[in-house]
């Protein structure tokens, strides 16, 4: 695991549940990962990734890094060593994609968008866990209608070298956006989605937490702008 933030924390927890021998490479980690290291449940290497770190890896995951240089370097080493690689939210470097999984007792549900939109996969996970928490009036598969547009939006932001935190993507996946898509108002939906997403480039969110997602009143008032609003 390359990275030690919130995304890495969740992925490491899942790996440990299945008995994986986990090595975390990151100068800093979450409190829980630090505690797991102290307890001997994982090996924490307190530095940035460097070439050669994948020498004995079975699989590799890059999480919580905004450095495309690191992503590219890890990808090259993974390819050279034939190590399956997953780079969180950067599908062009992935050789495997992790579905969003929900467990309840012996029942396991998994959702995947085939790499089209990690944000949508996360939203589907929320919906499977509890529709009330997800604040939606739509059925689960209604969100599938957003996949093509979200995939285009990811490419557009990548072209502009804009990378948003996962929480901000979630704040833009709203019922009103689904309504626009289902009603065939494609251009209006696109403008609304991009307006909302571009707010994330300057919203000043900290610790990978989006203020728009946390503030219910803000979420409702800024879900989808009126068609007369500037499209950004």
Assess whether 139 and 197 both reside in one domain: yes
- Pairwise CA distance, residues 29 & 40, whole Å: 15
List the Cα angle 40/46/50 in 5-degree steps. Answer: 120
Identify whether 76 is part of a domain. Answer: yes
- Distance CA(81)–CA(95), nearest Å, equals 13
Dist. CA 131–CA 144, nearest whole Å: 15
pLDDT at residue number 128: 79
Domain enclosing residue 142, as ranges: 101-222
The CATH number for 23's domain is 3.40.50.720
* Lowest mean pLDDT across 85-99, 188-202, 211-225: 211-225
Question: Domain check: are 88 and 113 in the same one?
Answer: no
- What is the tens place of the pLDDT at every residue in 39-83? 999 999 999 999 999 999 999 999 877 788 899 999 999 999 999
Mark whether 111 and 216 lie in a shared domain.
Answer: yes
Q: What is the mean pLDDT of residues 136-158?
A: 86
Q: What is the mean pLDDT of residues 121-139?
A: 72
Indicate if 52 and 106 belong to the same structural domain.
Answer: no
pTM: 0.62
Q: Could you tell me if residue 227 is inside a domain?
A: no
Same domain, 18 and 86: yes
**Percent of the chain whose predicted confidence (pLDDT) is above 90:** 43
């Amino acid at each position: 695991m390359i990275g030690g933030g919130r995304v890495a924390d969740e992925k490491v927890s899942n790996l440990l549940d299945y008995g994986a021998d986990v090595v975390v490479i990151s100068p800093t980690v979450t409190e829980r990962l630090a505690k797991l290291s102290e307890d001997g449940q994982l090996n924490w290497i307190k530095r940035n990734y460097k070439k050669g770190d994948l020498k004995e890896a079975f699989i590799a995951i890059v999480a919580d890094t905004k450095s495309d240089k690191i992503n590219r370097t890890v990808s090259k080493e993974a390819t050279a060593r034939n190590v399956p690689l997953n780079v969180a939210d950067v599908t062009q470097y992935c050789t495997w994609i992790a579905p969003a999984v929900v467990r309840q007792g012996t029942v396991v549900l998994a959702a995947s968008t085939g790499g089209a939109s990690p944000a949508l996969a996360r939203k589907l996970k929320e919906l499977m866990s509890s529709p009330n928490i997800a604040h939606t009036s739509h059925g689960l598969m209604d969100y599938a209608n957003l996949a093509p547009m979200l995939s285009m939006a990811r490419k557009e932001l990548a072209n502009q070298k804009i990378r948003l935190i996962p929480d901000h993507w979630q704040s833009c996946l709203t019922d009103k956006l689904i309504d626009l898509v289902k009603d065939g108002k494609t251009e209006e939906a696109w403008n609304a989605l991009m307006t909302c997403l571009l707010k994330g480039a300057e919203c000043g969110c900290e610790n990978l937490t989006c203020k728009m997602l946390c503030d219910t009143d803000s979420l409702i008032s800024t879900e989808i702008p009126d068609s007369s609003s500037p499209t950004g």
